[in-house]
């Protein structure tokens, strides 16, 4: 097992945690199947509706409108992946695992790799002691160039960098190669499972392409391979608010994470991960209880951003400054 996995320390006494009674926290960490079942049912119903509207309007400009909505919802499966990876979406372990594997395929996240690398991200949030935080989106503590930051918001831009994409990593695992993330994050006894699941993903990609050729139809590719690249940049609008511009090497999630307000539709797609300080500080609290958690500890938190515009008012200037000064970070004020 790698040193990173051995040294997981997010729950150590040296990390700051807001004061909350044990009784209240116990209630908030209680998991139920119903909220998760309701969420995924509505999610896949919306996804099917937008996909159906795309299909029946094909050949008109309306199809572009419906497909963009379909792609946005499809890429938002990342939120299902995230909640089920913590096993907080459902009380049932089987339901968590079932939807974890489905959403992992939808987001191009090989599930074994990402379960372990996400544990590393939570354990070493904003720590320079962990030089390789393999949460590859730029919501992590990188110091991005302005051009690469802006490119995150361009649909299909991910196709320009397939040579360093998650698909390439999955393909390497499927072919039996040991990548850096496998060596650093995944225990040795889990690596064969990672390669096996990677081969399933690659087989599914090939099957989708073969079916499209056999049917002489673009729809299998349009609905199952491409939407992630079309919709992902839109979902980055809220995902990039998580950590960008904030300081590193502080064992206090109030300084290294950012919570914001989102409208109900975005909040549903994001599955309440806009409460990001709260999530990192208490990762075993199900997403549907994060608003309740916020109400109990909000007097101990920095002021929550009122929306995307409010968040990007500080993120964009920070990215500009960090492109010239890698040591710059946004100062966070705690009123109490």
Q: What does each of the 336 residues of the chain score in pLDDT, given as a tens digit?
A: 344 444 444 445 578 899 999 999 999 999 999 999 999 999 999 999 999 999 999 999 999 999 999 999 999 999 999 999 999 999 999 999 999 999 999 998 999 988 888 777 666 665 555 444 555 444 444 555 666 777 777 777 666 666 667 788 899 999 999 988 888 888 899 999 999 999 999 999 999 999 999 999 999 999 999 999 899 888 888 888 988 888 877 889 999 899 999 999 999 999 999 999 999 999 999 999 999 999 999 999 999 999 999 999 999 999 888 888 878 889 998 876
Rounded-to-integer distance, Cα 227 and Cα 75, Å: 7
Q: Which of 277, 274, 272 is nearest to 289 (CA)?
A: 272
User: What residues have CB less than 8 Å from 53, skipping those under 6 apart?
Assistant: 62, 66, 70
The answer to whether 310 touches 330, Cβ cutoff 8 Å, is no
User: What residues have CB less than 8 Å from 24, skipping those under 6 apart?
Assistant: 296
Global confidence as pTM: 0.87
Spacing of C-alpha 7 from chain mean position: 23
One-letter-per-residue 3-state SS of 202-267: HHHHHHHHHHHHHHCCCHHHHHHCCHHHHHHHHHHHHHCCCCCCCCCCCCCHHHHCCCECCCHHHH
Beta bridge partner(s), residue 305: 260
User: Phi/psi class of residue 133: alpha, beta or left (left: φ > 0; alpha: ψ in -120 to 50)?
Assistant: beta
Report in angstroms the alpha-carbon separations of 119 from 39, 123, 185, 221, 245.
24, 6, 9, 32, 22
Rounded-to-integer distance, Cα 10 and Cα 14, Å: 9
The answer to whether 80 touches 40, Cβ cutoff 8 Å, is yes
């Amino acid at each position: 097992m790698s040193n990173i996995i051995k040294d997981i320390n997010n729950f150590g006494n040296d990390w700051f945690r807001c004061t909350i009674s044990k009784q209240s926290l116990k209630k908030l960490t209680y998991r139920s199947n119903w909220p998760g079942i309701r969420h995924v049912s509505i999610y896949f119903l919306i996804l099917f509706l937008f996909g159906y509207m795309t299909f029946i309007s094909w050949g008109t400009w309306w199809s572009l409108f419906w497909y963009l909505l379909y792609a946005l919802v499809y890429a938002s499966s990342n939120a299902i992946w995230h909640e089920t990876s913590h096993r907080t979406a459902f009380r049932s372990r089987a339901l968590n695992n079932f939807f974890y594997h489905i959403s992992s395929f939808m987001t191009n996240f090989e599930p074994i790799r990402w379960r372990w690398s996400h544990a590393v991200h939570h354990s070493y949030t904003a720590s320079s002691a962990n030089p390789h935080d393999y949460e590859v989106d730029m919501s992590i503590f990188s110091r991005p160039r302005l051009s690469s930051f802006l490119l995150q918001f361009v649909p299909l831009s991910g196709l320009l960098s397939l040579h360093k994409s998650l698909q390439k990593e999955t393909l390497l695992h499927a072919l039996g190669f040991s990548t850096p993330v496998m060596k650093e994050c995944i225990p040795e006894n889990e690596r064969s499972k990672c390669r096996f699941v990677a081969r399933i993903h690659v087989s599914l990609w090939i099957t989708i392409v073969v079916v499209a050729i056999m049917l002489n139809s673009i729809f299998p590719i349009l609905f199952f391979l491409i939407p992630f690249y079309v919709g992902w940049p839109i979902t980055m609008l809220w995902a990039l608010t998580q950590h960008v511009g904030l300081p590193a090497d502080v064992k206090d999630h109030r300084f290294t994470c950012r919570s914001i307000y989102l409208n109900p539709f975005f909040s549903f797609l994001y599955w309440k991960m806009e409460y990001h300080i709260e999530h990192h500080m208490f990762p075993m609290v199900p997403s549907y209880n994060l608003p309740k958690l916020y109400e109990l500890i909000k007097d101990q938190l920095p002021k929550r951003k009122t929306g995307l515009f409010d968040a990007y008012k500080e993120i964009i200037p920070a990215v500009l400054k960090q492109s010239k000064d890698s040591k710059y970070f946004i100062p966070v004020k705690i009123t109490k």
